[in-house]
C-alpha cells in the first residue's frame, strides 16, 4: 500500500488525511461525552490523542489495504460491499479486543487512561465517515482524476504499461503468505503452543506478585 504513494491515481493521500481527521473527530467526541457524564479528567489523559491515533488508524489501514487488492473493473457499490464483507469483521474484532483491554484497566485504583468511549467513537467513525470518504475515492479513481488534485486528470499510461489502478502484489502479501505457510507446519504449531503456554504461565505468576498502591490525594 505504501508503495503506491507516488501513484498519481491511487496514492490515497486525501483518503489518508480523511482517516486521520476521522480519528481526531472521535477523540473530540469521546472527550465531550466523558465531560458530559462528568468523568474525572486527570493530567495523564494528555497522552490520549497519541494513544487513540495509534490504535484508531489500525482499521483504516486494513480498509485501505484491501481496497487496493480488489479488481479495478468492479463497480463502486460492489467494491464497498466487498470491502465491508471481507474487512468489517476484522475491524470489529480489533475494536472488541481493545474494549476488553480497556475494561480490565478500569478495575485498578490508579486513574489510568480508559478511552473506551473514544474507541467506540473511532469504530463508528471508521464504518461511517471513512467508508463514505472511501466511496468518493473509488469514484475519483474510476473517473481518472489525480489523487492530491481531483480537479485535474491523471496522466495516461504508455502502451504496454499496466494501468495505474491495476492491483499489484504487495510485499506485505508475499511476506504474510510465506509466514502463514511457516506457521502451518506441525513443528511450528507445537513450538508456538509451548511458547504460548509458558508466556501465559509467566504472566499469571507475575500478576499474583503485583503490589498495587496508589493514593489519589497525594
Chain segment 104-126, per-residue pLDDT in tens: 776 666 555 556 777 788 888 88
d(CA 191, CA 66) in angstroms, rounded, equals: 31
Contact 9, 154 (CB under 8 A): yes
**What is the per-residue pLDDT across 29-81, written as a single tens digit (0 to 9) for each?**
877 877 787 777 767 667 777 877 788 788 888 888 888 788 778 888 888 88
Q: Calculate mean pLDDT across residues 2-7.
A: 58
CB atoms within 10 A of CB 33: 14
Decide if pLDDT at 4 tops 70: no
Q: Calculate mean pLDDT across residues 193-209.
A: 92
Strands (E), 65-213: none
**What is the per-residue pLDDT across 132-156, written as a single tens digit (0 to 9) for each?**
988 988 888 888 787 777 787 777 7
d(CA 209, CA 218) in angstroms, rounded, equals: 24
**What percentage of the chain has pLDDT greater than the value 90?**
9
Q: What is the pLDDT of residue 168?
A: 62
d(CA 187, CA 185) in angstroms, rounded, equals: 6
Residue 152 has phi, psi (to 5 degrees) of -115, 150
Model confidence, pTM? 0.71
Q: What is the pLDDT of residue 100?
A: 83
d(CA 120, CA 2) in angstroms, rounded, equals: 27
**How many degrees, rounded to 5, is the angle at CA 124 between CA 87 and CA 66?**
20
Question: What separation in angstroms does the CA of 196 have from each of 129, 164, 177, 200, 202?
Answer: 38, 44, 22, 6, 10
Look at 131 and 115; give whichever has higher pLDDT. 131
Amino acid at each position: 500500500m505504501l508503495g503506491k504513494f507516488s501513484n498519481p491515481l491511487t496514492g490515497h493521500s486525501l483518503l489518508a488525511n480523511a482517516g486521520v481527521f476521522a480519528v481526531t473527530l472521535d477523540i473530540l467526541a469521546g472527550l465531550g461525552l466523558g465531560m458530559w457524564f462528568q468523568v474525572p479528567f486527570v493530567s495523564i489523559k494528555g497522552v490520549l490523542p497519541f494513544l487513540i491515533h495509534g490504535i484508531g488508524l489500525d482499521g483504516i489501514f486494513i480498509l485501505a489495504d484491501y481496497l487496493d487488492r480488489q479488481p479495478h473493473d468492479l463497480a463502486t457499490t460492489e467494491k464497498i460491499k466487498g470491502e465491508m464483507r471481507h474487512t468489517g469483521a476484522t475491524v470489529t474484532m480489533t475494536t472488541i479486543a481493545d474494549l476488553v483491554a480497556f475494561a480490565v484497566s478500569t478495575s485498578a485504583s490508579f486513574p489510568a487512561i480508559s478511552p473506551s468511549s473514544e474507541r467506540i467513537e473511532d469504530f463508528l467513525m471508521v464504518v461511517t465517515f471513512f467508508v463514505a470518504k472511501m466511496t468518493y475515492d473509488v469514484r475519483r479513481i474510476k473517473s481518472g482524476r489525480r489523487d492530491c488534485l481531483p480537479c485535474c486528470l491523471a496522466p495516461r499510461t504508455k502502451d504496454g504499461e499496466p494501468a495505474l489502478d491495476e492491483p499489484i502484489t504487495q510485499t506485505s502479501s508475499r511476506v504474510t503468505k510465506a509466514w502463514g505457510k511457516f506457521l502451518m507446519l506441525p513443528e511450528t504449531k507445537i513450538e508456538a503452543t509451548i511458547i504460548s503456554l509458558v508466556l501465559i504461565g509467566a504472566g499469571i505468576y507475575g500478576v499474583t506478585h503485583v503490589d498495587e498502591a496508589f493514593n489519589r490525594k497525594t
